[in-house]
């Protein structure tokens, strides 16, 4: 398939200044039909597939029609991927890494079309969509440069030094099945695909139907970078059908989504004795210590709480304030939240976009209504904004949240944050750990050394100091994942690529066997080996 046409100039039009397309939505809010056709040709579907209308959450209008795969199509994709994987795995890793490094450049060069697609499909702001562009560039660069070292053969001491020569090598699983959600439509499917491919696997990817075009754009970039035909297959459809088929047929399963679905996927994988990695929900805490710089903390807390309209598994849903600075923080934070720019523009400038669907809006409204009915106070926000679009909701700050309110312990996954007051670091750590989840946390303090010590006591996979989530997420060489009900396994870093491989030990024995030899009987052999083991211990050898 030839490369897609690429726009090279940034879009500057807003909803109020463009004409209306035949579909009834602004012209700049439509995906060109040739682009839809080019992208959907990459899907594995039958000759006359069922189609699903996909809307843009910015306006609620139909954006395009998505051809859907069937379980039989998933089987075809798995078979083609397995066939292509053998030749791909035989390529030297340096050659695969060169391809991955090309992805870095292509993503940056093609960002304008990609930003449009992400905004149209997910409803996030342009700057928050750009976070995904930057993220994939970072991931491609990290694995393109460091992936070979992560997968390098390791030489191991054997039973007899020198005479026993052992090594551990990494073997790809074969076909990795990736089931990804809608909230980060480029970062999650493509960011997980890159290390899986570099490790020598083929990939069958099932992106969420809401954001399949964005994932297909990423698949096209991988193809144009040099990934051979067949090595990356993309299927489309709902999770309970097509996603489940991927889980039941792949050699390794990578899933990002809800904890409830993650448990079911883990059970399916376990029955098949197939490994899996799962990044699931979160109920993340942002703690503002007594010594925090509030001029820096307030805008950071806004980003942490309302990034991607709160539809981000690592965003803050709890803000814990040391009582000595609580009033000062809220005096600055609440007006700053009220002043946030909310809108659907396909241009830079808005602070927050829309929720992705009526289902998400219903959940947010239900959590706010439940909290208010049980005595919580709305400090700012609290209302839907149908004047902006069908699923917009104001960024909302709640106080007085108690344990009998749904938003206290359940993941809201929307632009709602609750504030709590504590009298000490000990209380803050206890509250941060008072959840079944363990994904991300944030500490704001001028004393970074003390903050690091506190971070080690929080049971989350990542902790950020003086940042909400970008510091740890953007450290592509460091692992990221969840504890507790937030999942299993890690992405990024060495663990983010070695998880896609099986370790294999190959050991060669030279000259003498690990058994009686040279006329030694069993007793003398055991005595000689005892003496040798004691000597090795005294010499400090492993």
Residues with catalytic annotation?
A: 279, 313
Tokens describing residue 229: 């035909």
DSSP 199: T
Pairing between strand 480-481 and 377-380? Answer: unpaired
CA distance 78 to 96: 21
**Tokens linked to 254:** 């990578």
Tokens of 162: 């020198």
Determine the Cα–Cα distance for residues 233 and 73; give it in Å rounded to an integer.
10
Taking the C-alpha atoms of residue 397 and residue 297, their distance in angstroms, rounded to an integer, is 16
Rounded CA-CA distance 415/380 in Å is 11
Cα separation, 136 vs 61, whole angstroms: 29
Strands 316-322 and 501-509: unpaired
Measuring CA to CA, which residue among 107, 111, 113 is closest to residue 31? 113
Which single residue is written with the structure tokens 């992405």? 491
DSSP H helices, 293-357, are 294-306, 326-338
Distance of CA 346 to CAs 45, 216, 339, 353, 355, Å? 31, 20, 20, 10, 15
- Rounded distance, CA 505 to CA 157, Å? 12
Q: Which residues of 262-280 are buried (b: 16+ CB within 10 A; e: fewer)?
A: beebbeebeeeebbbbbbb
Q: What is the DSSP letter of 352?
A: B
């Amino acid at each position: 398939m030839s490369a897609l046409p690429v726009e090279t100039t940034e879009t500057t039009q807003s909803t109020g200044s463009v004409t209306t397309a035949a579909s009834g939505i602004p012209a700049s809010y439509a995906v060109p039909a040739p682009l839809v056709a080019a992208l959907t040709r990459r899907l594995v579907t039958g000759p006359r597939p069922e189609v699903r209308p996909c809307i843009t959450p910015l306006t609620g209008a139909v954006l395009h029609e998505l051809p859907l795969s069937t379980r039989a199509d998933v089987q075809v994709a798995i078979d083609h991927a397995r066939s292509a994987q053998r030749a791909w795995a035989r390529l030297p890793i340096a050659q695969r890494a060169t391809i991955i490094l090309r992805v870095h450049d292509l993503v940056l060069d093609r960002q304008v079309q990609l930003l449009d697609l992400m905004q149209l499909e997910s409803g996030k702001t342009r700057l928050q969509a750009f976070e995904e562009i930057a993220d994939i560039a970072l991931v491609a660069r990290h694995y393109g440069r460091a992936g070979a070292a992560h997968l390098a053969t390791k030489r191991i001491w054997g039973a007899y030094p020198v005479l026993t020569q052992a090594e551990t090598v990494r073997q790809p699983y074969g076909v990795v099945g990736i089931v990804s959600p809608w909230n980060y439509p480029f970062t999650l499917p493509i960011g997980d695909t890159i290390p899986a491919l570099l490790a020598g696997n083929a990939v069958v990817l099932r992106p969420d139907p809401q954001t399949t075009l964005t994932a297909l754009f990423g698949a096209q970039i991988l193809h144009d970078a040099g990934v051979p035909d067949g090595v990356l297959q993309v299927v489309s459809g709902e999770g309970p059908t097509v996603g489940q088929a991927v889980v039941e047929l792949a050699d390794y399963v990578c899933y990002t989504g809800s904890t409830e679905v993650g448990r079911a996927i883990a059970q399916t994988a376990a029955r098949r004795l197939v490994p899996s990695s799962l990044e699931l929900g979160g109920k993340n805490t942002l703690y503002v210590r007594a010594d925090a710089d509030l001029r820096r903390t307030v805008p950071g807390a806004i980003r942490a709480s309302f990034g991607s309209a709160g539809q981000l598994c690592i965003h803050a849903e709890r803000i814990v304030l040391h009582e000595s600075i609580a009033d000062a923080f809220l005096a600055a934070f609440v007006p700053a939240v009220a002043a946030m720019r909310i809108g659907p523009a396909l241009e830079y400038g808005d602070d927050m976009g829309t929720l992705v669907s009526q289902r998400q809006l219903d959940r947010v409204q239900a959590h706010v209504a439940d909290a208010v009915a049980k005595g919580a106070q709305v400090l700012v926000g609290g209302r839907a904004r149908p004047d902006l679009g069908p699923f917009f909701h104001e960024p909302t700050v709640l106080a007085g949240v108690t344990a009998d309110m749904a938003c206290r312990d359940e993941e809201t996954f929307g632009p709602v944050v609750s504030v709590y007051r504590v009298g000490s670091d000990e209380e803050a750590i206890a509250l941060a750990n008072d959840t079944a989840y363990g994904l991300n946390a944030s500490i704001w303090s001028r004393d970074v050394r003390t903050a690091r010590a506190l971070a080690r006591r929080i049971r989350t996979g990542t902790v950020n100091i003086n940042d909400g989530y970008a510091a740890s997420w953007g450290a592509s060489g460091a692992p990221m994942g969840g504890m507790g009900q937030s999942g299993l396994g890690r992405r990024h870093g060495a663990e983010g690529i070695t998880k896609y491989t099986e370790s294999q030990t190959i050991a060669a024995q030279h000259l003498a066997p690990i058994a009686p030899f040279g006329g030694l009987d069993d007793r003398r052999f055991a005595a000689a080996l005892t003496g040798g083991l004691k000597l090795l211990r005294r010499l400090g050898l492993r």
